[in-house]
Amino acid sequence: MTPQLPPRVPLAILPTPLERCERLSAAWGGPQIWMKRDDLTGFELSGNKVRKLEYHFAAALAAGADTVITCGALQSNHSRATAFAAARLGLRCVLLLRTSDDNPPPLAGNYLLHHLGGAEIRLITPAQWEKRDELMAEVAADQATAGHVSWVIPEGASDALGMWGFVVAMQELADQIVSIVGKPPVIWHAASSGGTTAGIGWGVQRLGLETPIVACSIGDRSNEIAAKVQSIWDEAAATMDAPAPDIAIDYLDRHIGGGYGVITSGELAIQAEASALTGVIFDPTYTGKAIAGLRSDIAAGRYGSDDHVVFWHTGGGFAALSYDFTGIVAAAGRVADSA
Ligand SMILES: Cc1ncc(COP(=O)(O)O)c(C=O)c1O
């Protein structure tokens, strides 16, 4: 049985291109690398989150909400996309952002954009983050007292509703990869709150594809990501009366390094190398770590020249602007002479 698609409100610029990365493939050896450019889903609304938010905002509007509430890290791409989607649709937005720093955070990258998008920002501690769902419910209750109707979007919009963004995206990619001759391409992507992986997996099963899926964790252990994906699938299966996918996803945690948001200078250097070989920006936390992981697996001989890998670029470019690349730029000899 094919469940009916939930309503969506168009926010993303779709379809995003699938591009062949010839210079990157030649430089790194091994497989033919392709890139699914979800960094081009928009400008303010760039990245994977907007695909999921199309379903959440449709539900929010249908519920008569005038306010959306969500949460994320200080440099959260999801929170930035939520703030700007709310601004476009004329809704209020409250963001709960995690920080362990007592000092006011620098207004840079996504954290600056959260403000420019007009969101109300509340900084929360790592301990409060552990109770983020309860906290968002409390904020919604306070908003109700003030006469507002709220729609709460979970971390990363990663639930059975947001997942649809990537189920449908998988159809979009399936139409594009028909041009790839030979073995089915591997889909390699950065995984964190699990919604992207859940949607890709559901989509692959729904379409009967044989494309292997690699979920490259950027912070969590493999079993934690797998559990998040399974719980999204279980929720979706229960709400839609459809079976959860029965497919194997390759969850990798060997590239998480020091954990979420902890980036080595080696990873930054690979990210900068990938940018110079593709003309595409990566962000250190997600896509930079995932592309560095791909390079490392290629170097270990995981893929041969008859393999194709689609690197699903999930966005995040604004966060790159909050990192310090000074050492990388200096090491590459790209320091401008003073005039
Ligand atoms: C740029 C980027 N890529 C990948 C991810 C991971 O997606 P998901 O949370 O759906 O696993 C995120 C999540 O925040 C992200 O911002």
- Could you tell me what percent of the chain has a pLDDT over 90? 89
The domain defined by 49-156 folds into Rossmann fold (3.40.50)
Looking at residue 1, what is its pLDDT?
A: 44
- pTM (2 d.p.): 0.96
What are the two backbone dihedrals, phi and then psi, of residue 335, each rounded to the nearest 5 degrees? -100, 125
Return the residue whose CA atom lies nearest to atom 3 of ligand 1: 314
- Tell me how far apart the alpha carbons of residues 180 and 111 are, in angstroms, rounded to a whole number: 39
Mean of the pLDDT values across residues 108-122?
Answer: 97
For 125-177, the pLDDT digits (tens) are 999 999 999 999 999 999 999 999 999 999 999 999 999 999 999 999 999 99
- Same fold yes or no, 18-46+159-331 and 49-156: yes
Q: Does domain 18-46+159-331 have CATH number 3.40.50.150?
A: no
What does the domain layout of the chain look like in residue ranges?
Answer: 18-46+159-331, 49-156
For 192-220, the pLDDT digits (tens) are 999 999 999 999 999 999 999 999 999 99
- Tell me how far apart the alpha carbons of residues 218 and 300 are, in angstroms, rounded to a whole number: 19
**Residues in contact with ligand 1 (CB, 6 Å cut-off):** 47-48, 77-78, 156, 158, 190-197, 283, 286-287, 314-316
Looking at residue 121, what is its pLDDT?
A: 98
Check if the beta carbon of residue 44 is closer than 8 Å to that of residue 117.
yes
Return the best residue to mutate from 70, 192, 285 for the ligand 1 pocket (most ligand atoms within 8 A of CB): 192
In ligand 1, the atom with minimum distance to the C-alpha of 191 is 11
By C-alpha distance, which of 111, 135, 153 is closest to 323?
111
For 44-73, the pLDDT digits (tens) are 999 999 999 999 999 999 999 999 999 999
* Cα 48 to ligand 1 centroid, rounded to whole Å: 7
* 17 DSSP 8-state letter: P
pLDDT band at 324; cut points 50, 70, 90: confident
Residues with a catalytic annotation lie at 76
| C-alpha Rg value of the chain to the nearest Å | 20
Total length of the chain? 339
- Could you tell me what percent of the chain has a pLDDT over 70? 97
Helix runs in the chain, H state only: 22-28, 49-62, 77-89, 109-116, 126-129, 132-145, 164-177, 195-207, 222-240, 265-278, 287-299, 317-320, 326-331
For 268-321, the pLDDT digits (tens) are 999 999 999 999 999 999 999 999 999 999 999 999 999 999 999 999 999 888
- Tell me how far apart the alpha carbons of residues 205 and 220 are, in angstroms, rounded to a whole number: 24
Residue type, 258: G
For 69-95, the pLDDT digits (tens) are 999 999 999 999 999 999 999 999 999
Burial of 145 (0-12, 13-18, 19+ CB in 10 A): exposed
By C-alpha distance, which of 237, 196, 202, 231 is closest to 215?
196
Return the best residue to mutate from 56, 196, 289 for the ligand 1 pocket (most ligand atoms within 8 A of CB): 196
